[in-house]
Structure formats: C-alpha cells, structure tokens
Structure 1
C-alpha cells in the first residue's frame, strides 16, 4: 500500500525528463567595466554606488536594505 513500483515510474519518465538543465542560459550576455563590475546582464543594467556596492540588480529591486530609521528615545527628557 502506498508503494510506487519501479516499473510504473520508469514507464512515465523519459530520458528528457531526467536531463539537468542549468538555470542560467549559456547565451546570457554579460558586460563589465574597468572595475570588473558587471554593468549589464542580458540587457538589464546594473547600478553601483560611489563605493562600488551593487545598488540595483537590473530587476528593479534595490540590492541594499533601506537605511535604518532613526527613532526618538524618551530617555534623557
């Protein structure tokens, strides 16, 4: 009960179902600058700040967390 027989599993899978496919295409285009930073990946521009930190990942997402919020303390009033 609840067992999968190897014959039934093998009959539903073909050789193409078992082929590993990498998530990154071998045809993706990468461009870099003189600082060895990627400036674009497959046409999506990447952004960096003045210190060389990645600030935009080309997908419209910020690569850095937002700055910490300053909270006022009631101590010392």
Structure 2
C-alpha cells in the first residue's frame, strides 16, 4: 500500500485544540486527524449527505466557502 503525506492548514487556535484533545486521549495529533477523517469517510460511504455533515443552518456559508461546484460556477461567471 502506497502512503502519501497530505497537508492541512489549521489556525493556531485549532492547532492548540487539536493538541489538547489528542493529549487528553494519549494519542498523537496525527492519530486524531486520521481517525476523524476515516470516520467521516465511513459516514459518507454509508449514505450521509452534506447536510448531515455540516448541518443545514451552516450549509449556505459552508458551500460558499468550500463547494467545488459553486466555486467553478462563480469562476466561470467572470
């Protein structure tokens, strides 16, 4: 199995929270992030939709910032 390193950008507050949470569980931040990613992948593969992941009340703001399809539409409009 090939392994590739991926980077994730986190602000200082989130990094501090990640460090504290992973220390509380006596695990590394890497373990914590990998576990979170795998759990989310499992949910999506089991049928979760974006509303289940983000929450309906935050969906519009999240989509404006992170939706690949929406960014493509906005880019093509200019």
Shorter-chain TM-score above 0.5: no
Q: Which has the higher contact order (CA 8 A, sep 6+)?
A: 1
TM-score range, shorter chain: under 0.3
- TM-score relative to the length of structure 2: 0.23
The structure having more radius of gyration, on CA atoms, is 1
In proportion to residue count, which structure has more helix? Answer: 2
- TM-score relative to the length of structure 1: 0.23
